[in-house]
Amino acid sequence: MREGNGRNPAAGNSFDGVAPWLRRLDPWARRSMQPGKSLSPSEESLRRRLSSGQVSPGAQHELEYLIFKTETYISHLQTIRAFLGGFIAYDAAFRAKQKKDEKQMLDQFDMCEFLFSETRDQVLKTVKQLAASAFVEDPTEKYLLFRYNVRFVLPIEQFGKFIKNVVNFHHGQPYWERVDWGLIAPCRTGDRPCDARLRREV
């Protein structure tokens, strides 16, 4: 989000499309977005093996923890897949704009908005999965849950507002919902330079 938000000089103008480096992700994103496609060929095999219950005596707790971490990671990767798909649609919309194909542009913006909404729903599903686990009482898992909220849930919610503003702008609708860029790309101690624009609310 820091690279693609248009407030990083390397990212270019967000109202003109995504940064060129994101286009290198296009083939992977398109393959992974195919309906029903697993994130990897071994995903279902891994799930079956973990759920088989074939472990040494006394190792059931470790197996349950491994299943929990695996399912959480799969859910997180599904979030990233939707997120990257949203960027691909975002870029496709601007490519259509350059070709003066308004219908294709608006269709891709609609797809972009849908995928970022799916990203938000998926990241909330992941965090609920973390919070509902019996392992959440572990201090490490509590901290990971906190960090996931700070570094994924809140930024994605705010970035979704930005995407909505861009889509609305091109649909001729109001596009000034406030976005808290400080949540999306907070300046950290040691950042050089600490870009004040990243902290500005728009």
Take residue 181 and report the two structure tokens written for it.
Answer: 């860029």
Q: Where are the domains of the chain?
A: 9-13+25-30+60-199
User: Can you give the pLDDT at residue 185?
Assistant: 80
| High-pLDDT (> 70) share of the chain, % | 65
Does residue 118 surpass a pLDDT of 90? yes
Distance CA 19, CA 134 (A): 41
Does residue 123 surpass a pLDDT of 70? yes
User: Can you give the pLDDT at residue 29?
Assistant: 54
| High-pLDDT (> 90) share of the chain, % | 48
How would residue 169 be classed by pLDDT, with cut points 50, 70 and 90? very high
Name which of 1-5, 119-123, 132-136 the model is least confident about: 1-5
Tell me the pLDDT tens digit for each residue of 56-111: 777 778 888 888 888 898 899 999 989 999 988 998 999 999 999 999 999 999 99
Higher pLDDT, 201 or 134: 134
Exposure of 101 by Cβ count < 10 A (0-12 exposed, 13-18 middle, 19+ buried)? middle
- Residue 69, CA distances (Å) to 50, 97, 119 in order: 11, 42, 20
